[in-house]
């Protein structure tokens, strides 16, 4: 960790009263949990902290302590912006102008694709989650971490490691999980809310999308889509697509799993998961996406079929080469 940058961040906190803690678009538990835990610290330091997330605010994170105040409070225009868990300002959707117009922008992030935005940035590409960075920072500062902040940080780390299953699940990460449990994190509650609380519409949508999956190159490439018709048939919302990519990537032969989501006529999202030689973020770099070695994504102004063609031809080429 860059200690000098961290000292400057501490100075900014000492010298200001109002802070907006901002999660990325389609917030996940790492982004929002980190923002909530950091805001808790700021309030303990006697500062005013407002937690914001771009629209639409995911309902499945309503279990995170402090969620009920997210996006509920206005902040002064000169509030310092602290952004969590994103590699570029474009990830902040409707809140991007607010971040860019703040007198100072602080960033905490762990994305491989980080493009260096933010006036003061702590970026650790090796960290399993932004929650790991926040926990490290708070401990370094000797901050008091109560049960609610511990639950938020545990949720961040637990979900960004896929429930302690992804490659980034190191001994260090498991130790942090135990420490946060000691601090009062409700680990069973986080697991229940993360992986065992889906409505029927989500299961119907998942079944339809998985049934439509295609398998190529001896199953090394698997991909599927979520169309507006599939959403309507399942009675589901687009935010219920979370989890489908996890089923696709559970395939034994998988080296690259792709899920295309039809957001509109001319707006499509893609999620990428990889094993082996394929770098997930490299597959979406050309279309303006980003992410990590094993997980990446992009939101692109293209039709579903157009984006499928672009990404699939790239995936087929990479997988074809890596076999040779």
Nearer to Mn ion, 105 or 130 (CB): 130
What is the footprint of Mn ion within residues 90-149 (CB under 5 A)? 130
Which residue of 13, 23, 30, 298 would you call a contact of Mn ion, by CB under 5 A? 30
Of 129 and 231, the one with the shorter C-beta distance to Mn ion is: 129
CA separation, residue 195 to residues 29, 120, 188, 203, 248 (Å): 12, 35, 11, 12, 16
CA–chain centroid gap for 255, Å, is: 21
Sheet holding 290-291, edge to edge: 214-216, 221-226, 256-264, 267-274, 295-300, 290-291
| CB-based contacts of 271-274 (< 8 A; 24+ apart in sequence) | 271/245, 271/295, 271/296, 271/297, 272/296, 272/297, 272/311, 273/245, 273/246, 273/248, 273/249
**Binding segment toward Mn ion, per CB under 5 A, in 22-30, 162-170, 224-232, 306-314:** 22-30
- Closest approach of Mn ion to the CB of residue 229, in Å: 31
Tell me the two tokens of residue 302: 């293209």
Contact flag: residue 26 with Mn ion (CB under 5 A): no
Residue 90 Cβ vs Mn ion, minimum distance, rounded to whole Å? 16
Cβ proximity to Mn ion, 85 vs 240, nearer residue: 85
Helices (H), the chain: 3-15, 29-44, 96-101, 130-140, 147-160, 171-182, 187-195, 200-211, 228-234, 244-248, 280-284, 304-323
CB 153 within 8 A of CB 37: yes
Q: Measured from the CB atom, is 130 or 241 closer to Mn ion?
A: 130
Task: Point out which residues pair with 83 in neighbouring strands.
Answer: 22, 107
In the complex, least distance from residue 34 CB atom to Mn ion, rounded to whole angstroms? 8
Among all chains, which residue has been given the structure tokens 């996890």?
246
Residue 190 Cβ, how far from Mn ion at the closest point, in Å?
15
- Which CB atom, from 30 or from 308, has the smaller least distance to Mn ion? 30
255 lines the binding site for Mn ion (CB under 5 A): no
In the complex, the smallest distance separating the C-beta of residue 153 from Mn ion, rounded to whole angstroms, is: 12
Residues in a beta bridge with 152: none
**Of 26, 85, 299, 308, which lies in the binding site for Mn ion, with binding defined by CB under 5 A?**
85
For residue 89, the minimal CB distance to Mn ion (Å) is 16
Options 19-27, 40-48, 49-57, 85-93: segment touching Mn ion (CB under 5 A): 85-93
Choose between 220 and 294: whose C-beta lies nearer to Mn ion.
294
Q: Which is nearer to Mn ion, 109 or 240 (CB)?
A: 109
Number of residues that bind Mn ion (CB under 5 A): 4
CA atoms within 13 A on the CB side of 244: 31
Residue 136 sits at φ, ψ, to 5 deg, of -60, -45
Task: Write b or e for each residue in 15-54: b if 16 or more Cβ atoms lie within 10 A of its Cβ, otherwise e.
Answer: ebeebbbbbbbbbbbbbbbbbbbbbbbbeeeebbbbbbbb
Tell me the residue number closest to Mn ion, measured at CB.
30
Does the protein bind Mn ion through residue 160 (CB under 5 A)?
yes
**Which residues within the stretch 268-307 sit at the binding site for Mn ion (CB under 5 A)?**
none
Residue range at the interface with Mn ion (CB under 5 A); choices 2-10, 36-44, 82-90, 147-155:
82-90
298 forms beta bridges with 270
CB of 269 to Mn ion, least distance (A): 17
Candidates 94-102, 159-167, 204-212, 289-297; binding stretch for Mn ion (CB under 5 A) = 159-167
Could you report how far apart the first and last alpha carbons of the chain are, in Å?
40
Which token pair is 194? 């993360």
Q: Shortest distance, CB of residue 30 to Mn ion, whole angstroms?
A: 4
Residues that bind Mn ion (CB under 5 A): 30, 85, 130, 160
């Amino acid at each position: 960790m860059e200690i000098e940058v961290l000292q400057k961040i501490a100075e900014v906190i000492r010298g200001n009263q109002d802070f907006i803690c901002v999660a990325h678009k389609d917030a996940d538990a790492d982004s929002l949990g980190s923002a909530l835990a950091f805001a808790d610290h700021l309030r303990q330091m006697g500062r005013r902290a407002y937690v914001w997330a771009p629209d639409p605010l995911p309902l499945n994170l309503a279990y995170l302590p402090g969620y009920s105040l997210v996006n509920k409070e206005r902040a002064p225009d000169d509030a310092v912006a602290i952004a969590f868990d994103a590699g570029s300002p474009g990830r902040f959707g409707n809140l991007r102008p607010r971040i860019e117009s703040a007198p100072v922008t602080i960033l905490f992030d762990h994305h491989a694709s980080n493009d260096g935005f933010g006036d003061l940035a702590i970026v650790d590409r090796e960290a399993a989650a932004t929650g790991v960075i926040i926990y490290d920072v708070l401990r370094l500062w000797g901050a008091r971490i109560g049960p609610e902040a511990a639950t938020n940080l545990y949720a961040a780390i637990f979900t960004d490691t896929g429930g302690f299953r992804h490659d980034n699940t190191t001994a260090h990460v498991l130790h942090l999980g135990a420490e946060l449990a000691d601090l009062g994190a409700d680990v069973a509650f986080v697991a229940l809310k993360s992986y065992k609380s889906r409505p029927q519409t989500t299961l119907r949508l998942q079944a339809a999308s998985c049934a439509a999956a295609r398998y190529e190159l001896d199953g090394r490439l698997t991909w599927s889509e979520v169309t507006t018709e599939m959403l309507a048939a399942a009675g589901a919302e687009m935010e219920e697509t979370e989890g489908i990519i996890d089923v696709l990537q559970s395939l034994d032969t998988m080296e690259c799993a792709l899920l295309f989501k039809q957001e509109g006529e001319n707006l499509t999202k893609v999620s990428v998961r990889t094993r082996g030689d394929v770098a997930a973020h490299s597959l979406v770099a050309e279309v303006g996406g980003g992410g990590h070695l094993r997980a990446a994504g992009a939101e692109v102004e293209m039709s579903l079929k157009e984006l499928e063609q672009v990404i699939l031809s790239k995936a087929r080429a990479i997988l074809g080469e890596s076999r040779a």
